[in-house]
Amino acid sequence: MPNAAYSLTKTTPAIDGPLMLIIMDGVGLYKGAAEGYDGNALDQAEAPTLKKLLAQCPLKTALKAHGTAVGMPSDDDMGNSEVGHNAMGAGRVFDQGAKLVAGAIASGQLFRGQAWQELIGSADQPGLARKHQSAVHFIGLLSDGNVHSHIDHLLAMIDQCQAAGVQRLYVHPLLDGRDVEKQSALTYVEQLEQKLKSIDPTGSQYAIASGGGRMQITMDRYEADWSMVERGWQTHVLGAGTLYPSTTTAIESLRASVPGIIDQDLPPFVISRPGQPEEPLAPIQDNDIVIFFNFRGDRAIEISRAFTEAQFDKFDRVRFPGVHYAGMMEYDGDLKMPPRFLVEPPAIDRTVSEYLVRNGVHQYALSETQKYGHVTYFWNGNNSEKFDRALEDWQEIPSDRISFDKAPRMKADEITDQLIQALDSGRYRFLRVNYANGDMVGHTGSLDAAVAAVEAVDQGIARLLASGAKQNCTFMITADHGNCDQMYEIDKKTGAAKLDASGQPIPKTSHTLSPVPLLITGGNADRFTIDLTVQNPGLGNLAATILTLLGFAPPPEYLPSVVKPV
């Protein structure tokens, strides 16, 4: 019997066979470019299945996948996979990390909160930093991309530390070049150093201590490559690595050693003490305060575990200082990781997965490692546990440990094989899958690789449509945000690709503000039509659409379905 609190009313019509949601990660619909713009991987790809559906599918619309439609502060903010899958699975929009943190800083609530008061305190009420005469260390992504972090949040916390009387403060920046322009690190470093030098002109008490590219150290996710975290630990905590007199020197030297390298791939570096070129400036010590200032959780969990777990076996920490650690947010509510955090995360409840299992619907979720947490943890409202083990099957295909521009097919073929097996089993009423190619390859900045990535996804979808016909499967094809639709930076005045000094297009590695497609085809799609009364539909409308197709009336708190019966 269904749980009464989650009971759904059955409606007609409904599809007869299974429903499969295909999420093409990072494949947006960019149509605003000037004539001749050739940086759209979808346009450039040989993708006959997708292009035919985009041109001819009777049941299609575009969905907003950025900004306020996914809980970000403004429509100038890109979407991302985490907030996108949250919105898809939750059926409505919750304020997300960037907006929550910005609000907590603007209101002062972050600095009045228990965690901040314990660690930093104020001028009148000293925290642990002053009580122990400890250094405060900030680790996190240094940019204004607003996907994992924002430099403004860091600068505001530095100001508050100074006001509270913190004597020593060190920043360990992770360089971006992924959510912002590929070689923009020095812009943010200069901004940070200006702040630090305004407090301590000597560069010894308030300074940058270490850093490196985000795809080289510290910010691994889903346990894909713990060696990244180990390198970060050695760099930030032990102060072990190549020493440089300044961050600018480090970045310029590393760029010169590998021409064309982008910021996210820069090796780690350690800053030396002024006048002592062979001594690291600020290794992390006992009783120090460590704050990881990223608000997004996926790439913050592993380093948080390394700092907080007494019994830890992922790598040899060599030295495990007794620090006082906090994350910007709670990165995993089930693991309670980290135990101390500065800003409460959104409380997402009543997801579509929970409604479905409470009404007896058997579900299947699949992706490779890079996006496995998105179709499970984020889809289920930042919940890493299944609502019903008997009715939810999750499958992960391990991702390759390789730069994705070198293998743009990633695991698309294996994913398609597994989905066909799941369909053929006849066990599942609702299946969801994430093809990671468009996003992970899009972030590399390689147009050719992104084109190959889109082609791999298109071929997988073609196979699924053919196989699904046997089970009368209905398909929903969409994306969580844009990325590979703009592989070249765009001149906002002309809409054409920006060119570098040699006349070549400048690669773009970040997400876009593009809408994403929703294509509904196969099975009994002809029983429904697009509901044109739904204004500005976004990813949050997908949950109600799923329920409508499956023959359930969506709960009243959900955003409306974008389809209605014919």
Q: Residue 284 is which amino acid?
A: I
Cis peptide leading into 73, omega within 30 of 0?
Answer: no
β-strands 169-175, 324-329: how paired?
unpaired
Query: Catalytic one among 81, 272, 353, 561?
Result: 81
Measured N-to-C along each axis, helices 151-163 and 97-107 cross at an angle, to the nearest 10 degrees, of 30
3-class SS at 314? coil
> Distance of CA 187 to CAs 46, 49, 94, 183, 509, Å?
38, 42, 32, 9, 17
Cβ atoms of 416 and 464 closer than 8 Å: yes
* 203 φψ region: left (φ > 0), alpha (ψ -120 to 50), beta (else): left
The Cα–Cα gap between 322 and 285 comes to 7
- Distance, CA of 482 to CA of 549 (rounded, Å): 25
Distance between CA atoms of 455 and 507, rounded to whole angstroms? Answer: 20
Rounded distance between C-alpha atoms, residue 5 and residue 509, angstroms: 44
**Strand pairing partners for 24?**
435
Beta bridge partners of 141: 174
484: which 2 tokens?
A: 């590979």
In this structure, the strands spanning 276-280 and 210-213 are unpaired
Distance in angstroms (rounded) separating the CA atoms of residues 554 and 432: 18
Q: Residue 341 in contact with residue 326, Cβ under 8 Å?
A: yes
Gyration radius of the chain over CA positions: 24
What the block records as the tokens of 467 is 């196989």
- Polymer length of the chain: 566
Instruction: Give yes or no: 81 in active site.
Output: yes
Quick one: DSSP state of residue 220? -
d(CA 233, CA 320): 10
Show which residues are catalytic: 81
